Amino acid sequence: MQFTVEQKPRFAHITGTGRLNMVGAPKLREVVARVVDEGSNHVVVDLGGTEFMDSSGLGALIGCLKLARQAGGDLRIANVRPQVRMVLELTSMHRVLTPYDTADAAFADD
């Protein structure tokens, strides 16, 4: 899994491409930890390029959410593809990690 980070005025925009599984999950944790350590505690993970997510990927998202909240911010997800949405809904995690249509919409009301 490959990640890119773009600093926007209100949040850090992390885009991932590939499979968010036991191989990609640690990379996501590293990227989010670095972004938060650098001072961006509002993070959007754009999953538009994520073709597959398993329980390892879901665990990484929850861990990253906890990290951002401990830093006084929040983590939100955007541009969720059908397979990823299905995993979120089957585990009821869509209630905790509400999917937004776009990265910009994720923090639009804050």
**110 pLDDT exceeds 80?**
no
Q: What is the pLDDT of residue 20?
A: 96
The mean pLDDT of the chain is 96
> Residue holding tokens 């979120």?
88
Parallel, antiparallel, or unpaired: how do β-strands 74-78 and 99-100 relate?
A: parallel
**109 pLDDT exceeds 90?**
no
| 24-58 pLDDT tens trace | 999 999 999 999 999 999 999 999 999 999 999 99
Q: 61, 43, 37: which is closest to 7 by C-alpha?
A: 43
